[in-house]
Amino acid sequence: MVESALRERTSGEVSASSLQASLLPALAVRDVSHGFFLRDTHLQVLDRVDFSVGVGEFIALLGPSGCGKSTLLRLVAGLETPVSGVVATEEGPILGPDPSRILVFQDPTLFPWRKVWDNIAIGLEARGLLRASRARVDDVLRLVGLQNFANAYPHQLSGGMAQRVSLARALVNDPKFLLLDEPLGKLDALTRLSMQGEIVRIWQSAGFVALLVTHDIEEALLMATRVLVFSERPARIKADIRIDKAYPRHRDDEDLVRQRHEILTLLGHASDW
């Protein structure tokens, strides 16, 4: 899809290859380098990162702290444009934010004075779509299991519930890309486990492309169809590992245990486990 959109843009003609859309990637990150100026020095953060994501894939991004994972998500969200290279969807190069690509952070950042329902509705409200889409807010509330908390305020929720609201606030926009930046990072281990399963279930039913940044190798292996392992900054792709397992997955599965060791070795921690 991306390649055809790029071709159409450059040649100005509609190509027949759009018929093969589903065979082509939903997202292309092509030879992307990026960095920042800090006073007089340039900090290079991404080094010629290149990968494609197919329709319906769930990609986990693993790498050392500070290597550039969140920066990469920000590029896909359109909050920044790469210094060189292209990040493109089927619609062409990403030039800015769009409700079809939504970021969810570690902190739910809910508005404390708005009820759960109104927090979720905020994106639709801002786009003038709320009047016609009220049922959609109810639907996503049900999807994240909070239908009985529509009238609660954020301070009346647990951490896991608040993060579910944050997820629902993203899902209400029916995104094509859900960009998850350590969304479960602050939750206790058991809530985290159940939310890993819930996110996979929602992803399977909603059909968006998921990009998940996590520091938890097990989480990546339990949730993703592919794991990209990045180097230290400036981030390069060290490995692109397919996780070919049906859901729900089990942490003791011998293939997953083997892949966990493979990834730990790539991250330089082979002897720690």
Q: Select the binding partner of residue 196 from Mg ion, ligand ATP, none (C-beta < 5 to 8 A, by kind).
A: none
In the complex, the smallest distance separating the C-beta of residue 32 from ligand ATP, rounded to whole angstroms, is 13
Residue whose CB is less far from ligand ATP, 69 or 176: 69
- 168/179 Cα distance (integer angstroms): 13
CB of 16 to Mg ion, least distance (A): 41
150 and 165 Cβ atoms separated by less than 8 Å: no
Binding letters toward ligand ATP, positions 52-71, x by CB under 6 A:
-----------x-xxxxxxx
> What is the nearest approach in angstroms of Mg ion to the Cβ of residue 115?
30
Q: The dihedral of CA 161, 216, 69, 22: what is its sign?
A: negative
Measured from the CB of residue 86, what is the shortest distance to Mg ion in angstroms? 22
Number of residues that bind ligand ATP (CB under 6 A): 13
Residues 67-86 as x/- pattern, contact with Mg ion by CB under 5 A: ---x----------------
271 makes contact, choosing from Mg ion, ligand ATP, none, with CB < 5 to 8 Å by partner type, with none
Nearer to ligand ATP, 71 or 196 (CB): 71
CA gyration radius, the chain: 19
Nearest residue (CB) to Mg ion, 1 versus 103 = 103
Using CB atoms within 10 Å of the CB of residue 153, give its burial: 0 to 12 exposed, 13 to 18 middle, 19+ buried: middle
Show contacts with Mg ion in window 33-72 (CB under 5 A).
Answer: 70
Task: Report how many residues bind Mg ion under the rule CB under 5 A.
Answer: 1
User: Any idea what DSSP says for residue 68?
Assistant: S
Per-residue DSSP letters for 131-185?
A: TT-HHHHHHHHHHTT-GGGTT--GGGS-HHHHHHHHHHHHHTT--SEEEEESTTT
35 or 154, CB closer to ligand ATP? Answer: 35
Contact indicator for 141, 150 with CB cutoff of 8 Å: yes
Using CB under 6 A, which residues numbered 33 to 52 contact ligand ATP?
36, 38, 43, 45
What DSSP letter does each residue of 212-246 carry, written as one string? EE-S-HHHHHHH-SEEEEE-SSSB-EEEEEE---P
Q: How far is CA 154 from CA 27, 107, 161, 202, 273, in A?
A: 34, 12, 9, 22, 39
Query: Which residues are near Mg ion by CB under 5 A?
Result: 70
Contacts to ligand ATP by CB under 6 A:
36, 38, 43, 45, 63, 65-71, 233
